[in-house]
Structure 1
């Protein structure tokens, strides 16, 4: 599901939209395999037991609860978390039942910091820490393709600063003909 366009301002467009890195799904997949495999194995072992029907019901209910808690909920968290960069803002949106959103205008970003672990370097994810003018630093963890995100964000911040300074002519770039051309 893409970031909803109806939440954007007029003239605002999505430049980059990311979900957390796929490594967030590794543990739920392992839990799924262990819970389903363990449940079927336990049910097979208990099939000759006198009370196997009751045991199967308990195994099924317990397995279902574990699947919801350890597989479905983490998957929904991953699915509903968005890190979006537009031409005006940085958005971070998360939550299944209770939604939380951070919105930082590009012009208010004062500093960016990245933190990449050993595994993050191997798998291509890291943490982006954004300091804005008004808020405490916000940490966006498990950002996939962090160098690309940082590059896009740097370019958009530079474009935003140039646009608010009156264009390139005040930034040291000539816009009209030079005296030699004139």
Structure 2
């Protein structure tokens, strides 16, 4: 999925667009599977009882309502949050946008970036993800967590910054 063109300046090209790493979705998927199994077991158990038809229906609807609330809150919401989080590098700036109902974001012009670092532990290295740390001229370092292939993004961003600083658009 490409980043929307309406947020880009005229003649600005996207170099990289990433969502956070899929590891953020492991917990929500496990919750979805466990809650679905529990709800299915509960519904099957209720249907096996010799209850009145209305009682069985009411209890089954309660189980369904509990499943919808828990899955919506602990699985669907994190997925939509993941889907609406964007880390974008263009040839002019770094953009980070996040939020579902309330959007927030930051843009960092490449010419303002002083240093680019990355950090990842052993698990992040196995999953090829990590934290990207960008220090700009006027701000404390910004940390962007769970960036997929963080080493490649680090190298790409470093080269974009190095190429931009000497260009005619951003003279030294």
TM-score by length of 2: 0.92
| SS of residue matched to 1:135 | coil
- Cα deviations across residues 128-181 of structure 1 (Å, max 9, x unaligned)? 111111222211100001111011101111111111347xxxxxxxxxxxxxxx
Matching residue within 89, 114, 124 for 1:120: 124
Selected match of 1:72 from 72, 76, 101 = 76
SS in 2 for 1:46: helix
List alignment gaps of at least 5 residues for structure 2. Answer: none
Whether 1:87 aligns to 2:91 is: yes
Q: Distance in 1 between matches of 2:171 and 2:29?
A: 50
Partner residue of 2:39?
39
Q: Secondary structure at the match of 2:166?
A: helix
Q: 1:52 aligns with which of 51, 56, 63?
A: 56
**Could you say which residue in structure 2 is the equivalent of 1:177?**
none
Separation in structure 1 between the aligned mates of residue 93 and residue 171 of structure 2, nearest angstrom: 18
Alignment partners' CA distance in 1, 2:50 and 2:21: 45
Q: Distance in 1 between matches of 2:37 and 2:57?
A: 18
Q: Partner of 1:102 in structure 2? A: 106
Say which one has the larger Rg: 1
In structure 2, C-alpha distance between the alignment counterparts of 1:49 and 1:155, rounded to whole Å: 70
Q: Does residue 30 of structure 2 align to residue 26 of structure 1? A: no
Larger CA deviation: 140-149 vs 108-117: 108-117
The Cα shift of 1:11 comes to 2.1
Q: How far apart, CA to CA, are the structure 2 residues paired with 1:88 and 1:60? A: 49
**Residues 49 and 132 of structure 1, relative CA distance in 2, 3 Å threshold:** farther
TM-score, normalised with respect to structure 1: 0.87
How many residues are paired up?
A: 166
Map of 1:98-177 to 2, 5 A cutoff?
A: 98-163=102-167, 164-165=170-171
Task: Give RMSD over aligned pairs.
Answer: 1.3
Deviation at 1:103, TM superposition (A): 0.2
Structure 1: 5+ residue stretches without partners = 167-182
In the TM superposition, residue 9 of structure 1 has moved relative to its aligned partner by 1.2
**8 Å Cα contact 2:21/2:147 also seen in 1:** yes
Shift of 1:49: 4.8
CA distance in 1, matches of 2:117, 2:50: 60
